[in-house]
Amino acid sequence: MADETSSDVDVELGDDYFITLDYDDGTSEECEVIGIFEHDGGEYIALGPEESDDVYIYGYRETDDGGFDLLELDESVFDDVSAAYLAIQDQLEGEPEG
């Protein structure tokens, strides 16, 4: 079973959305929402932390109250979803602008 991660939508700047990830140890981290995508019937979200070039990928589930939950992924699912995310990024980079 996936663990839920607490999150709050923090700031909206133009087309950029930021989420604050609150960790169990009391720390938090600002992340830009890179995108939400589907893969094998599930929804996932890619987040880019402000202080790093890393990308975090979580399961994504909208809630009845208009919010959402982030779900940690098992390693086997994470590997598959990460590969799908990279394929999407490669496809987007190959598209002509305009």
Encode the chain (98 residues) as per-residue pLDDT tens digits: 333 443 333 333 346 789 999 999 999 999 999 999 999 999 999 999 998 999 999 999 999 998 899 999 999 899 999 999 999 988 887 766 65
In a domain, 32, yes or no: yes
pLDDT for the residue numbered 97: 60
Residue 4 lies in a domain: no
Give the range of the structural domain holding residue 65, as residue numbers without chain letter: 18-92
Closest to 83 in 3D by CA, of 50, 19, 37 = 37
- Please choose, from the candidates 1, 2, 14, the residue with its C-alpha nearest in 3D space to the C-alpha of residue 58: 2
Full DSSP string of 41-62: TEEEEEEEETT-S--EEEEEEE
Instruction: Establish if 76 belongs to a structural domain.
Output: yes
